[in-house]
Amino acid sequence: MSVGIQIEADVSDVAGAVPRRLFGSFVEHMGRAVYTGIFEPGHSTSDDRGFRGDVLGLVRELGPSVVRYPGGNFVSAHRWEDGVGPVDRRPVRLDPAWHSVESHRFGLHEFAAWAEAADVEVMYAVNLGTRGIQEAADVLEYCNHPGGTELSERRRANGADRPFGFQLWCLGNEMDGPWQIGHKTADEYGRLAAETARVMRMIDPGVELVVAGSSNQEMPTFGHWERTVLEHTAALVDHISLHAYYQEHDGDVASYLASAAALDGYVRTAAGIIDDVLVKAGLDKKIGISVDEWNVWDQRHWNDVEQHELIAGGWREHPPIIEDDYTVTDAVVVGSLLASLVRNVDRVTMANQAQLVNVIAPIRTEPGGGAWRQTTFHPFSLVSMLAKGNSLRLAVTGDTVHTGLHGRVDVVDAAATFDENGHCALFLTNRATESATEVRIRVRGARLTPYGTWTIAGHDRHLKNCVNTEPVRPVPLPGVTAEHDPEGTTITATLPPLSWTALRLASAVVRDA
């Protein structure tokens, strides 16, 4: 077999350090993400707080670093005060965003406690849809001020003596989207976000603020939105968000498998706008990109069917919403999207897979029943575990594939990391659907030996996992070789058709230590 792809890397040629926050996730009050997802009092595995132990176990195995909360579209009509104080006195309200009834049995304190149990950082979103500057200031004071004021003492009376100390705050959610409650023009949102950011910094100068960028790359306002919003806020914020969901259109698997190329382009375009605004404003600072909602999601089903069924079903508590069952192909695409995030660490400062449990999620549950890993669980857990140290710049040459939506792309999508202990990780997606592809990876500056291989592939690209059986899981990739020479290592591997692979290698000197 001929070599389909050659990849050149040098351990000293780095794109940037891989931030742990790249492996974030998201829990929204939506569908069964919270209720019967992470929280189910009375479940056989739940603790006395109602936190499902089977789910917590899977979350720890998945390895997210930061979890965004409480929305999403939900946050744009949410009153944070409803979710604090004695549970039996919390109001039951309509959640217009998801046509649901919200009981608030689970709220701010419960999430802070759950995040501690899951060992994740909290990323808290404020409502800039129906609410504004005052409420954002209030919830920050409630959470982060030590004591002695009405709001901070209320938190203490509600059981949290010490401040939560949340550092990461989102200034609203998807305010560019006409579907968003309180949707705004870029100027309206930019002004509101700037004034909200200003007072939040006065209250707690330690916060990191994320201003809302585009909901997706196809938004007619993409570009104009980022520029205008940043013209208002650049001096006051640390990150700008991008949201990105991908799906297979009409059986066009080639384009679907090239989704990472679209994400690369989205990030690079936004990065150019950030630089331009900063230069024009004379600001000597960096603004990171927070891809704080990304995933694969078949939105046609939501738009054409599910949304109508949800409304026809009437107002209910935690109805199931967008519980997509993921396939081998979805897992391969998720793996390549993670590789894109790793490649772009010079600009992407954090990212949150949307979402964590039940709602387009790597973890699924049955109410009162079991929990399981979807196919997409595996690339996330592997990249979160293996991508450490620096992301390496790669030069990729060789075969390409034509795609209807993204033009010609390399047949293999690749990312690589190398850490201070001499561990190297390679993430490789074979976009060829019918044939294996041989890759030759030349890594200069390290004498590497493979010591772990994981591949997700399968003769049936539509195969899924379900509650009682998880047939889709990574298996070792046979035949990976490493040849050493005075300057480095050449690794060869044969990637199965339509597959995602992680390779872990160690520098010999480190392995012997």
Binding site for ligand AHR (CB under 6 A): 28, 30, 71-73, 173-174, 215, 293, 354-355
47 neighbors 57 (Cβ within 8 angstroms): no
Q: How far apart are CA 290 and CA 310, in angstroms?
A: 30
Output 183 or 191, the one with its CB closest to ligand AHR.
183
Peptide bond into 91 cis (omega under 30): no
Q: How far apart are CA 320 and CA 393, in angstroms?
A: 42
Output 76 or 499, the one with its CB closest to ligand AHR.
76
Residue 189, SS3 per DSSP: helix
CB of 322 to ligand AHR, least distance (A): 7
CB of 75 to ligand AHR, least distance (A): 8
Output 326 or 454, the one with its CB closest to ligand AHR.
326
Q: 462: alpha, beta or left, given left = phi > 0 and alpha = psi -120 to 50?
A: alpha
Q: How far apart are CA 149 and CA 320, in angstroms?
A: 40
Sequence-distant (6+) residues with CB within 8 A of 220 are none
In SS3 terms, 345-373 reads as: CCCEEEEEECCCECCCCCEEECCCCCEEE
Told to judge if 420 belongs to the known catalytic residues of this protein, a careful annotator would answer no
Active-site option among 81, 141, 248, 293: 293
Strand residues in 354-498 grouped as ranges (E): 363-365, 371-373, 390-392, 395-398, 400-403, 407-410, 412-418, 423-430, 437-444, 448-456, 481-485, 488-495
Output 112 or 360, the one with its CB closest to ligand AHR.
360
Q: How far apart are CA 241 and CA 226, in angstroms?
A: 9
Dihedral sign (CA 465, 466, 470, 474): positive
The 10 Å CB-count burial string (b at 16+, else e) for 383-405 is bbbbbbbbbbebebebbbbebee
211 neighbors 169 (Cβ within 8 angstroms): no
Told to judge if 153 belongs to the known catalytic residues of this protein, a careful annotator would answer no
CB of 299 to ligand AHR, least distance (A): 9
Output 293 or 330, the one with its CB closest to ligand AHR.
293
Output 72 or 83, the one with its CB closest to ligand AHR.
72
CB of 481 to ligand AHR, least distance (A): 42
Length of the chain: 513
CB of 247 to ligand AHR, least distance (A): 13
CB of 77 to ligand AHR, least distance (A): 12
Output 303 or 421, the one with its CB closest to ligand AHR.
303
Q: Residue 412 corresponds to which tokens in the numbers above?
A: 């293999």
| Side-chain-facing half-sphere of 12: CA atoms under 13 Å | 4
Active-site option among 40, 141, 174, 306: 174
CB of 179 to ligand AHR, least distance (A): 7
Residue in the shown chain whose Cβ atom is closest to ligand AHR:
72
Residue positions annotated with a catalytic role: 174, 293
